[in-house]
Amino acid sequence: MLTLLLPSLFLYVFGLFNLLGIHQSLMVNQLVFGIFAILGFIGIKLVGQRFFRTNSKFFYWSFIALLIVTYIIGLEVKGSRRWIDLYFFSFQGSEFFKVFFILFLADYISRNKRHYSNPILFLKCMAYFALPAFIIFKQPDLGNAIVYACIFFGIILVSHIKKKYVLYTIICTLLLLPLSWFFLKGYQKNRILSFVNPHVDSQGASYNMRQALIAVGSGKFQGRGLGLGTQSRLFFLPENHTDFAYSSLVEQFGFIGGLSLVVLYATMTVHLIRKIITFSYQRDTEGYFKFLFTIGFFSYFICQLFVNMGMNLGLFPIAGITLPLISYGGSSLVTWMLGLALLP
């Protein structure tokens, strides 16, 4: 566990220094969020994973209810209802739900070993995924809906459920994919179009991407220095503390800073892969659950890591996905620590 906690701590400190250079007031908030994250980690460790696994169905349906409430009466920011305003802070249920969704799905599949060849099991798993993903997509929050899809397919693909059901689902999804265009919001369509051709609307939909690339490029090898990044400090780069925190960090600390993050993330990736390999040899139900949960957590981690860094470097369309431990936000930070605490 220490091999995951130490890199997490270093990344969190990197994130604090990044905020110090662009939003000093937010750095104080992030320090407070860090305290809550540590308390949450300790609390789950004291209670034990078994309690949360035993009650995973209760947590699943509780968060489904919370997502519905958020969609109806949640705080609206830039046309999206993703948060519930609790006066002192905003609570994003779709973030917290990620680790409990992993827990529930891993537990559900591991307890139904005798039904892997039955298509009903796959359809139930599909329904358990589709329900929260649809609500989150309607908030609208396409980025987090993509993360849930990565978690679901990551777990299903390594489970003992017949792969032909997954293949049928992928084929149907690809055939219906063009129709999804009509269900996207206007700004989501513009983000995709601006990714395909950034020069179509350089002052509109592709503005964020262009500014992110400028920020990364201006950092060069050693960076401009703490608080000296013009793109982020002067707010040419929107969302410089959340979606584009990586660009802000590279502008301030350069290639060296960006590479340091990659090395820390790579260290965590290697440790998670080792855990996955270890649990894959355990044939009992408990070992199989540990294997599936670690796969789900790994999928959540890798999806957010690659998509966020990819959109910061112009490799993926902008999807509104945070970078673990670097992007500002209490919900994502606490969620990460809860996931580490539940990790076998």
pLDDT tens-digit profile of 168-198? Answer: 888 887 777 767 666 666 656 666 655 555 5
Residue 289: alpha-carbon gap to chain centroid: 21
The structural domains of the chain, with segments of one domain joined by +, span 2-75+90-342
Q: What is the pLDDT of residues 247-305, one digit of tens each?
A: 888 888 989 999 999 999 999 999 999 999 999 888 788 889 999 999 999 999 999 99
Identify the residue whose tokens are 């990790």. 343
Average pLDDT of span 67-96: 79
Choose among 245, 238, 231, 239: nearest CA to 18: 245
Average pLDDT of span 100-119: 88
8 A C-beta contact, residue 38 and residue 340:
no
Other Cβ atoms within 10 Å of 74 Cβ, number: 22
Identify the residue whose tokens are 């355990």. 282
> What's the mean per-residue pLDDT of the chain?
85
Confidence of residue 130 (pLDDT cuts 50, 70, 90): very high
% of the chain surpassing 70 pLDDT: 88
Backbone angles phi, psi at 84, to 5 degrees: -110, 125
Average pLDDT of span 148-158: 93
* Burial class (CB within 10 angstroms; exposed 0-12, middle 13-18, buried 19+) of 144: buried
